[in-house]
Chain A
Amino acid sequence: MNKSRKSIVTATLAVAAMATALTACNSNPPSATACSLPDGPDLDRAISAARFDLETGCEHQFDQYFQRLLTIAEGDPKKDNKASFSEFLIWANEEGLLSKRQARETYTRYFGVKYVSLVSDYSVCDQTCPRQQEVMREMNKELVDKEQGLLKVSADRREYYRANRLFQEAELVLEATCEACGPAE
């Protein structure tokens, strides 16, 4: 009898211990890996929140965070926003979230006049002309990103105009140059 009573108590204690342990797990504070994209109109605050998330397990969502920050910045377009995004990308590089090249290309893609779609190592005839249409499509997409970065986020119409002008000139000159290069061998 005593033996059975003992085993009941032991079992009860074990269940209670397990329940306590489970409760203890559930009562942990929510981790940063919830990865909720920042909200609200304040860009600086949103960048701080994004930094916190990105360095605590959400780095795989860098692109989504970056895009959200751009959207938030659109709510208050000003030239200073360029600096905020530049600092954010430099931080991302220092944290190892992006390589230096990726950080540069991302910044240029949105806030620069030049087109990263035109990065190449070989001559126009050899490398660009065989994929001229593809390059132009990429440039076109990049121009849309520049519209967001330069115009909607930074309110820098002059730089956007230059980017747009460069797009048109590059299209014309590439068309003529590739015509002059002739068909690829």
Chain B
Amino acid sequence: MKTTTIRDREYKRNFVRRLMSVCLLFMPLAVHAASQTPTIKLFPTTVLEEIKHTGNVAAEMETGLQAVITRLDEQQNLYMESKCEGNEGDPGCEQIARQMGKSYLEMLTIMGDKLPEMETAVNSTSSSLEQRIRRELGQKKTSWSLQELLIGEQSESGNNADRPALRGRSGMRLSDRFHQYYQLVARSGGEVNSSLAVVASDIYLDMQETSSLIARTREEISRATLMEQLNQSFGTITPEMQEVVAGVKSILFGEEEALTPMTAPPASRPERGYESPLKL
């Protein structure tokens, strides 16, 4: 039975989180770019084209991954149905495990192949948005006029449902947030400049973060590939594989699957912090 260290688990968690962040960002971009061209100069045609291209690259990667993920799913089901858990020495189970390992490597290869192109697209879009934001908001506006721009479209009727949720504060998934952006831009027909300033800021900051995440993810893919190549010689399925696959599945299909690690954690209750009886 394979065991994992705390460091490995932390690494896996980070890896999956990064993969999700990178992929989720681009899911709605193609849709966003297809919306009407806004009149505000923050989103000229060139920027929209770059966003569209980035969305297409992301979509290609998703399409490529979907088939591998489906195959991995089937292989995992077969592994479970064959009661391979605890029977790792069984030749049939070893074979299934190796096949799963191969599919996993294929998934990592696809990501490794596509990420450089995506990194270029992200950096290019980020750079264009940066120039626009600097010129339109940074140089043409004072902080007071920027405030007036933002407040301009805060309707007196207080119809705040139209406004996008803000980055990092809403607690919602990136894809949902971008869906809101799309709806806002599509409905406004480019008139809601204040919201577009917020959307542009949001996208730009996300792109900055994503660019760095992609770079780190690429490095980690190399490491994960090496680890899996080593595992192939033993024909084992690691919890790391399972978590990565589950993470990618949730990205592509929006599945909130419970992770079912091959090696269960110790059956002890999690420790709780001290709670005073005085607590109300």
- Checking A118, A121, A161, A165 against B147 with a beta-carbon cut-off of 8 angstroms, the contacting residue is A118
A105-138: CB near B (< 8 Å → 1, else 0) gives 0000000011100111111110111000001000
CB distance from A127 to the nearest CB of B (A): 7
Say yes or no: is B66 at the interface (Cβ < 8 Å to chain A): no
A172 touches B144 (CB 8 A): no
Contacts of B201 in A (CB 8 A): 172-173, 175-177
Binds A, one of B74-82, B202-210, B222-230, B261-269: B202-210
B151 touches A181 (CB 8 A): no
Given A114-B151, A169-B150, do A135 and B202 touch, yes or no (CB 8 Å)?
no
Say yes or no: is B7 at the interface (Cβ < 8 Å to chain A): no
CB distance from A122 to the nearest CB of B (A): 6
CB distance from A162 to the nearest CB of B (A): 5
A173 touches B158 (CB 8 A): no
CB distance from A183 to the nearest CB of B (A): 12
A175 touches B150 (CB 8 A): no
Given A173-B137, A177-B133, do A123 and B154 touch, yes or no (CB 8 Å)?
no
A135 touches B143 (CB 8 A): yes
B138 touches A169 (CB 8 A): no
B166 touches A124 (CB 8 A): no
Closest to B203 in A: A176
- Checking B134, B144, B151 against A177 with a beta-carbon cut-off of 8 angstroms, the contacting residue is B134
Say yes or no: is A179 at the interface (Cβ < 8 Å to chain B): yes
Contacts of B130 in A (CB 8 A): 179-180
CA distance A77 to B57 in the complex (A): 56
A168 touches B166 (CB 8 A): yes
A142-185: CB near B (< 8 Å → 1, else 0) gives 00000000000000001001100110111011111111111000
CB distance from A104 to the nearest CB of B (A): 13
Contacts of B148 in A (CB 8 A): 114
B205 touches A128 (CB 8 A): no
Given A173-B137, A175-B205, A180-B130, do A122 and B160 touch, yes or no (CB 8 Å)?
no
Q: Which bucket holds chain A's interface residue count?
A: 20 to 34
B139 touches A166 (CB 8 A): no
Say yes or no: is B20 at the interface (Cβ < 8 Å to chain A): no
A124 touches B147 (CB 8 A): no
CB distance from B133 to the nearest CB of A (A): 4
Closest to A181 in B: B138
Given A166-B151, A169-B150, do A174 and B160 touch, yes or no (CB 8 Å)?
no
- Binding site secondary structure of chain A: helix
Interface residues of A in 20-59 (CB under 8 A from B): none
Say yes or no: is B23 at the interface (Cβ < 8 Å to chain A): no
- Checking A169, A179, A182 against B204 with a beta-carbon cut-off of 8 angstroms, the contacting residue is A179
A161 touches B205 (CB 8 A): no
CA distance A173 to B136 in the complex (A): 12
Given A114-B151, A161-B158, do A127 and B208 touch, yes or no (CB 8 Å)?
no
CA distance A176 to B202 in the complex (A): 8
CB distance from B193 to the nearest CB of A (A): 12
A123 touches B142 (CB 8 A): yes
CA distance A73 to B3 in the complex (A): 65
CB distance from A99 to the nearest CB of B (A): 18
Given A122-B142, A161-B158, A172-B166, do A179 and B205 touch, yes or no (CB 8 Å)?
yes
Closest to B135 in A: A180
CA distance A158 to B158 in the complex (A): 7
A-B contact pairs, 16 of them (CB 8 A): A118-B144, A118-B147, A120-B143, A120-B144, A122-B142, A125-B139, A127-B142, A161-B158, A169-B150, A172-B198, A172-B202, A173-B197, A173-B201, A180-B130, A180-B131, A180-B133
Q: Which residues of B contact A (CB under 8 A)?
A: 129-131, 133-134, 137-144, 146-148, 150-151, 154, 158, 160, 163, 166-167, 169, 194, 197-198, 200-202, 204-205, 208
Q: Known A-B contacts: A166-B151, A173-B150. Give 10 more (CB < 8 A).
A: A114-B147, A118-B143, A120-B143, A124-B137, A124-B143, A161-B160, A170-B146, A179-B208, A180-B130, A180-B138
